[in-house]
Structure 1
Amino acid sequence: MTAEPLRATGPGADLRHIRSWIFDLDDTLYPPESQFMRLIQGRINDYVVRTSGLPADEALVVQKGYLKDYGTSLAGLMAHHRIDPHDFLAEVHDVPLDVLTPDPGLRAALERLDGPRIVFTNGSTAHARRVIERLELVDLFDGLFSLEDADLIPKPDPRTFARMTERFGIAPASAAFFEDTVRNLEPAHAIGMTTVLVGARAVGTDTPFVDHRAASLAPFLATARLPGDA
């Protein structure tokens, strides 16, 4: 499949029908250029090496296969090895937060949004809270749905979307979901959510389940047409 560069939606994306705002966490609420996820990836790779007994290069191939096939490395490890998932989450997320910095522009853009704002992550509860606190956005979010809340069943599993929307009483047709991983947008679109792919990654040409594309979250939100706008 031929890939095309990601195009940011032009100013004024029409989100006037949106009443609930759902955000992925990692590489969505902060820029991937921070390389924060690389720190976590390193911890995951070390864990797979230790658990599988494979050399680092082979363990990396296995870990990427787990991510592709199961949605998270953890789900793959649980399917193939006896591990404590809570120990795994605590270990791989125990990384310094120094590379993350609050973004006043993102804060101002989030403040424009009328309605509940939810963080929906495949990370742990503790990890999400640390990151949101570091970004100084705690007061702007009304809820958090983590991997533990999903009984360790990660996005893009439709059951996890159903559980999340039920938890917060979200009507999908009036909800927007912002996410940097393309495949996680497909089940959201299937239940009627407006989907926004965030980040500068290339995507395939056949992505009918992506409604909007935003190279960066803050400018997209800052220029979007929101409820109450003419």
Structure 2
Amino acid sequence: MQTKNAPQTPPPHPREVETWLFDLDNTLYPASCRLFDQIDRRMGLFIEQRFGLSAEEARRMQKSFFHSHGTTLRGLMTEHAIEPGDYLDFVHDIDLSGLEANPRLDAALTALPGRKVIFTNADTAHAERVLERLALTRHFQAIFDIRAAAFVPKPDEGPYDQILENHGLAAERTVFFEDSARNLKPAHARGMTTVWVRHEANWSAPPDEGDYIHHHTEDLASWLEDLQDRRG
């Protein structure tokens, strides 16, 4: 896919970047691991059990919440006053054995100057488990999770302002990597450089022209390696 802005936007010089901001799931590991499939099934099962619905009915409710509220959790909280802790513990109770350490990504992150921060719609406990499995924990100075965002998910505007303020980020010196293209739009509006880590899921693609996407890649490690090679 070619986005409107990508050909005109030069890659950032690593030494000009203060903060490298990363989404977690399907960004720091490939979507082909199918980890999010497990989470998706657990979301549906939570709704099935909580409301006594069939699997088909639960899936319709789940997708309705996602499209109208940004996340299934936000829909459950808004419309049914669900306790978020119960939900997060349930949906993240998954098998991480499919995740493996990525030496190339580890080396690419090591080479990046500046700080690295996680910005995720999941919670910190899940993020820490994933980072440990990927052997990437040491790279990240902070995790800004759904709890820190008061359970308001990306792409709502609020969490972007919060993370900038809470962690003292200069938007114009921040690069944000994200697999869901729509979550890049508020980052671009605040002056961040945006990188879409694309994959085959329909919801990964931008719902519009995507002119808020500066760069895109299917392989995060390769993009970071190329950045170092280009800039020396």
* TM-score, scaled relative to structure 2: 0.90
- Measured after TM superposition, the shift of residue 161 of structure 1 is 0.6
- Measured after TM superposition, the shift of residue 50 of structure 1 is 1.7
Long gaps (5+) in structure 2: none
Q: CA RMSD in A?
A: 2.1
2-structure distance, mates of 1:167, 1:185: 19
Paired residue type of 2:68: D
The structure 2 residue matched to 1:15, chosen from 12, 16, 39, is 12
Correspondence 1:65 to 2:64: yes
Q: Deviations over 1:172-205 (max 9, x none)?
A: 0110000000110000000000000002336356
1-structure distance, mates of 2:145, 2:110: 23
Q: Deviations over 1:48-69 (max 9, x none)?
A: 1122332111211211111111
Paired residue type of 2:47: V
Paired residue type of 1:217: L
Long gaps (5+) in structure 1: none
Q: Percent identity?
A: 38
Q: Superposition pairs for residues 1-230 of structure 1, below 5 Å?
A: 4=1, 14-16=11-13, 17-201=16-200, 203=205, 206-225=209-228, 229=231
Instruction: Report which stretch shifted further, 198-207 or 113-122.
Output: 198-207
1-structure distance, mates of 2:86, 2:199: 33
Q: SS of the residue aligned with 1:95?
A: coil
* TM-score, scaled relative to structure 1: 0.91
- Measured after TM superposition, the shift of residue 226 of structure 1 is 8.3
CA distance change for structure 1 residues 78 and 107 in 2, over 3 Å: closer, same or farther? same
Q: Deviations over 1:148-178 (max 9, x none)?
A: 1111111111110111111111000110000
More helix by proportion, 1 or 2? 2
Aligned residue-pair number: 223
Q: Deviations over 1:113-139 (max 9, x none)?
A: 100100000001100111111111111
Paired residue type of 2:122: G
Runs of 4 or more, structure 1, over 4 Å off, are none
